[in-house]
Structure 1
């Protein structure tokens, strides 16, 4: 039996907010169904499906190693995948790609913002009823999971009801209605009368959306919004973004408690810190100019976020347990590197427990660049990096060979670039060389970079050194250690 959309309280699809940690938090607090953020069909079609046994997730990973969509067993029966599309064939291809990992497929037909409407997606579809019909019929006939769509209202009740009746005939399981026109924004009042007219005109479940702040401030208001619109179910966006405990029948929790609950999920599922920070900023929207808000804005890692909210012990404990899980699963793809009998250490390599933290190093300087410059100065061959990736969690391990000796970190890292930087640090520290870290002795490369920055600042100086610096950039194409964004 498919997912039912009757008498449900639902987390709405929200760009950058509807990622896995927020969806799970909403379920913790009592949501019945959760929608992921809108994901564009073309982007999803570039992804490969990866089972992550360490995190126990299913990840859809782009060619740039960015996790575009992540889900887990707990939400499998209640997560709705929302896509941005204006092409029936692409929509069906995406639906077939993900249908075994989700409970239903939704087509975004209501977002009025440019990132959604370009290419005819989102609210742009409201002007193309024939396209709506083609996309929805193709999906309904092509997959085994329920299909829904989310729309905004048209200029008149009559036009809106006519569109919704056409949508009903495609065979969709439900329709979500944001009670505003495409040119209206949250400050405009929600049109409950439009939603009510729709609910009375069709037999499929109608999900009312748009009541945040104006009507819904706590759980009891959800039922009031449902009654005003005569809808089958209610979908929450901003009210849930500001405080996800709005789903709690027992009442709203303090934002501090909610933040701690959210961070636990973010750490557990290795959420990229920029997305974690964005969601936390929505919860602290009234405190962004406070000392706490400014610290959050400045945070550059999940670890720093945990420190700000007094969760360092949790972070360290969980990180250790995850490392132990990786080791117990023996998740190693040996590639061309030679490991010892236990698959733990690189044969004949000097190893240290090192990670590259960008914030600890001088601007525009990385350990790889410092090591390269030192090798040139000593007339040694250029450093050679060998990097492998573990097959199940996609973490990386790199070994650098300098003067026929190998150096690497004990620790695996999230990206190839970070793993290579860590290997370079091990080499530099073993040789007793500066590595570009803030507060240590300066290498020749550090001096050159500082001079370049001074020249750029004052607009003068001996520019003969600039081409040399540019050349370093060209030869070291992995200077910035960026994590994957979620």
Structure 2
């Protein structure tokens, strides 16, 4: 494969710079034959969740990646998918309730390895057969330490269940491998075990399953990307794979094409090296230094946006990827982080937007945002109506309580008057009766009795 395949014009090599072994002395003109990208081994794009979607893979290939691994896709999510071709973009979508996986066979198939998350041989084989026509290999993820993978027995969890991992690889080799009509090379990506001896024993067992490729991520499952890679087991692993005829790739802290070649040569790796973090922040890391090396972020972001729009990459993924490429301290980073459509992204970057407007304004994320805004507006209207009804209720209640109080006060006055009148009448009658009685008594007083009421 040549750099011409990726449409990158080789720049002039300064005369005072050391010339690579496979390049003629002197400067290289724009019309000169392209220099092979591979020197000691292949340099490939590592499988990365989100960052390894179609647009990043195509851009990495353009900048010189020899092979690209896709992000982990769960086998069960593929089973039952509908394969939909898009003649406008040349892409193939695997759709169920939503987009599960997108590939572009016309631009990447011969260099694209599909990575699968699986925990069972039968579902692994079923999923592999579904995507077989659009990929050039099947890789089993047995190194991812993230809970979304390990909780279901996938990823790094398989390193704790070696018999299950071996059965999955054996099933794939026997059902969709190179000796079957599907003719797909099967590979596996692992992490370091606690000791070098355990790691070498695992690699020996894996090579016996018939796999074609094996990648060792030089970190243990608990280790994070910021921790230095451990390369003590590399030389022995490379030797085991070479003797078994298995192409071996190293992963972990590879910073670019030149760094990859250094590690490949140092550990006598018969295969290549994977780039992950460096490619996430700048996919042009696949350009060798003697061809100009990595490009400025603005140039890379522009190329990425053009590819993303050409394959109708989902806005959410495009935004995520370019935010990883644009320096966080740059003012444009803040503007891009607020964008919700391709048009807003292109406006911030000073680019012409070629993304279909109906898709741009009708993306699921935009629809959700719009629906959320409409819901909030509706909630505000309902809240205002409830507050108005509550105010009316309180006012009517206050008025009703006022009327009841007035009626109660009036009733109390009437009761007091009636009681007073009845009391006076009773007292008067009692006095009169007492007076009459007193006058009738023998020796009673002749003077009338008066009562004060």
TM-score using structure 1 length: 0.65
Q: CA RMSD in A?
A: 2.8
The residue that corresponds to 1:175 in the other structure is 214
Report the Cα distance in structure 2 between the residues aligned to 1:106 and 1:360, rounded to whole angstroms: 36
The residue that corresponds to 1:452 in the other structure is 382
- 1:12 matched to 2:46? The reply is yes
On the 8 A contact 2:77/2:100 being kept in 1, the answer is: no
Deviation at 1:71, TM superposition (A): 2.6
**Which structure would you say has the larger Rg?**
2
Deviation at 1:55, TM superposition (A): 1.3
| Aligned ranges 1:94-133 → 2 under 5 Å | 94-133=127-166
On the 8 A contact 1:208/1:229 being kept in 2, the answer is: no
The residue that corresponds to 1:134 in the other structure is 167
1:70-119 per-position Cα deviation (integer Å, ceiling 9, x unaligned) = 33311111100000001000000001111111000000000011111111
Deviation at 1:453, TM superposition (A): 5.0
On the 8 A contact 2:128/2:138 being kept in 1, the answer is: yes
Report the Cα distance in structure 2 between the residues aligned to 1:243 and 1:56, rounded to whole angstroms: 25
The residue that corresponds to 1:260 in the other structure is 302
On the 8 A contact 1:14/1:36 being kept in 2, the answer is: yes
| Aligned ranges 1:301-320 → 2 under 5 Å | 301-311=341-351, 313=352, 315-316=353-354, 319=356
Name the structure with the higher helix share. Answer: 2
| Aligned ranges 1:404-415 → 2 under 5 Å | none
1:99–1:454 Cα change, 3 Å: same
Report the Cα distance in structure 2 between the residues aligned to 1:355 and 1:42, rounded to whole angstroms: 28
Deviation at 1:360, TM superposition (A): 10
Report the Cα distance in structure 2 between the residues aligned to 1:199 and 1:234, rounded to whole angstroms: 12
The residue that corresponds to 1:48 in the other structure is 82
Query: 1:154 pairs with 193, 199, 222, which one?
Result: 193
Query: 1:275 pairs with 317, 330, 347, which one?
Result: 317
Name the structure with the higher strand share. Answer: 1
TM-score using structure 2 length: 0.69
The residue that corresponds to 1:227 in the other structure is 265
Deviation at 1:454, TM superposition (A): 5.6
On the 8 A contact 2:145/2:221 being kept in 1, the answer is: yes
Gaps of 5+ in 1: 324-353, 367-444, 465-486
Query: 1:163 pairs with 191, 199, 202, which one?
Result: 202
The residue that corresponds to 1:93 in the other structure is 126
Query: 1:196 pairs with 220, 235, 254, which one?
Result: 235
Deviation at 1:151, TM superposition (A): 0.3
1:181–1:455 Cα change, 3 Å: farther
1:463–1:189 Cα change, 3 Å: farther
Deviation at 1:128, TM superposition (A): 0.8
The residue that corresponds to 2:339 in the other structure is 299
DSSP 3-state at the match of 1:77: helix
DSSP 3-state at the match of 1:206: strand
1:229–1:463 Cα change, 3 Å: farther
1:334-359 per-position Cα deviation (integer Å, ceiling 9, x unaligned) = xxxxxxxxxxxxxxxxxxxx979769
Number of residue equivalences? 338
